[in-house]
Amino acid sequence: MSAEPLSRLMVAIASKNSLLLWLNAAQNCFMIGMAGIFLLEQEASWDALEGAEVIFTHANKPIAREHATYVLPVHHVGDAMKTPELRLTLLRDFREYLLRHTLSDVLQHVSEYCRVTGQSALLLDEAWFNFSRVVRNALTHDGIVHFDPKKAAPPISFDRWTLLPEHEGRPIAEIKNLNSTATIPVLEAASKFVETKLA
C-alpha cells in the first residue's frame, strides 16, 4: 500500500483480504434481503406479522418489551402484503433499494481501496465497474440513465445487459430484470477483480 494516510473507510478495509471478506458479507446481506422478499411474497407469512413489533434492547438485557430502548411496529408490512397493489409496489421498491445501496457500497469500497493503493487505472477498465456506476447514478439521482463519455461511453456491456447510446435520458426501470438480477453478478465480478487483479 502507498504511504498516503488511510481514510476512515480504509481503516476497516486496510488489506485485500479484508476487502474480499467485506464483499462476501455484502453478498450475504443482499441474499438475506432477497430471501426476505421471497418470504413476504408468500401468503402464509402475512399472519405472522399481525401485531408484530421489532424490539431493540441493550446487549446485556433480555429481549422483552420492558427492556426496550426502542420499539418499531412492523405489522403494517403484513397489512400491506394483503393488498396486491401495495405488495407489488413495496417489494419492487425494496428490490431497488437493495440494488442501489449494494452497488453504492461496492463501488465506494473497491474504488477507495484502489485509490489508496494506487490501482485505480485497473478499476476504470472494468466493465462491471463502468456498468454499475451508470446504474448506481441513475438509481441514486433521478432514475434516468446518463452517460459520462469521459469515464465510459456507451455501449457498456456487462453479463447479460448492454447499456446502449439510446438509453441516454431514459428510465433505468426500462432495462428488464435489472433491479432483481444484476447485483449478484456485480458482486461476483467485483470479488473476482479484487482477488485476481489487485495487489
In a domain, residue 3? The reply is no
In a domain, residue 104? The reply is yes
Is the bond preceding residue 171 a cis peptide, omega within 30 degrees?
no
DSSP character for 47? Answer: G
Domain residues for the domain of 136 are 92-199
Residue range 40-94, pLDDT digits in tens: 999 999 999 999 988 898 888 888 888 899 999 999 998 999 999 999 999 989 9
Residue 44, CA distances (Å) to 4, 38, 48, 129, 146 in order:
54, 11, 8, 39, 42
Please compute Rg for the chain using Cα positions. Answer: 20
In a domain, residue 12? The reply is no
Q: What is the mean pLDDT of residues 100-116?
A: 94
How high does pLDDT run on average in the chain? 89
In a domain, residue 22? The reply is no
Interatomic CA distance for residues 139 and 135, integer angstroms = 6
Q: What is the mean pLDDT of residues 135-156?
A: 92
Interatomic CA distance for residues 139 and 143, integer angstroms = 5
In a domain, residue 76? The reply is no
**CA proximity to 95, closest of 165, 27, 161, 35:** 35
**pLDDT tier at 169 (50, 70, 90 boundaries)?**
very high
pLDDT at 160: 92
Domain count, the chain: 1
